[in-house]
Chain A
Amino acid sequence: DTEVTQTPKHLVMGMTNKKSLKCEQHMGHRAMYWYKQKAKKPPELMFVYSYEKLSINESVPSRFSPECPNSSLLNLHLHALQPEDSALYLCASSQRYGTETYEQYFGPGTRLTVT
């Protein structure tokens, strides 16, 4: 099983709402990633978790709050978002995170629209 799943597929939320994105993998990977992708642009790295600990935060605003409750799950909690946060949010995982090259497997993404 080389699948990364993400829910929901689509999400529409108002600027005052609180919502969460969920990502799951059962490949035994110990590194998980959140990316943001705007239309016609490449993915931009937001966060990296390694062994359930936050390793990288690419200066992401605090209205995005990641959480890694266990080695298979990754959440992204959203609060007080702005319309410019509308994008495709991609989750990825890899065997490890470190100086070696580990292939990243991406989920299908959550298309977020902030109204």
Chain B
Amino acid sequence: GNSVTQMEGPVTLSEEAFLTINCTYTATGYPSLFWYVQYPGEGLQLLLKATKADDKGSNKGFEATYRKETTSFHLEKGSVQVSDSAVYFCALHQTGANNLFFGTGTRLTVIP
């Protein structure tokens, strides 16, 4: 079946620190992979996506590379800001399955 596993949170970093949030997945075939971000009190926003192996999604300084060999899609940012404090969800869309499968979310807090 399809599943997404994210690193346990919460994650607390100082401003300008390097961020990695791990995400691994289980799926048959070739899913598309997404990172969504949810700021406090708001809905989900698509942060970035990758639709095939070795694709790199990037947006607002965040990056993630679709690694088929390790079934991973880790989120990285070189220098986090206080405004990046949010919950980050990794998700996959399995071709033919129609629905999004979400990980449990990782809460990031960035302190000045």
Contact = CB atoms under 8 A, between A and B. Distances in A.
A41 B95 contact: no
Given A99-B98, A101-B95, A42 B89 contact: yes
Interface string B19-38: 00000000000001010100
Contacts of A43: 44, 89, 102
Determine which residue in B32, B43, B44, B46 has the highest number of CB atoms from chain A within 10 A of its CB, and name it. B43
A94 to B, nearest CB: 10
Nearest to A44: B102
Interface in A86-115: 88, 90, 92, 97-101, 103-109, 111
A99 B96 contact: yes
A109 B43 contact: yes
The interface size bin for chain B is 20 to 34
A42 B93 contact: no
22 contacts: A41-B104, A42-B89, A42-B102, A42-B105, A43-B89, A43-B102, A45-B99, A90-B44, A92-B44, A98-B98, A99-B95, A99-B98, A100-B95, A101-B32, A101-B51, A106-B36, A106-B44, A106-B45, A107-B43, A108-B42, A108-B43, A109-B43
Interface of A: 4, 6, 40-43, 45, 48, 56, 88, 90, 92, 97-101, 103-109, 111
Interface of B: 32, 34, 36, 41-46, 49, 51, 89, 93, 95-96, 98-100, 102-105, 107
Given A42-B105, A109-B43, 14 more contacts: A40-B105, A40-B107, A42-B102, A42-B104, A43-B89, A48-B98, A48-B99, A88-B43, A97-B98, A101-B93, A103-B34, A106-B44, A107-B43, A108-B43
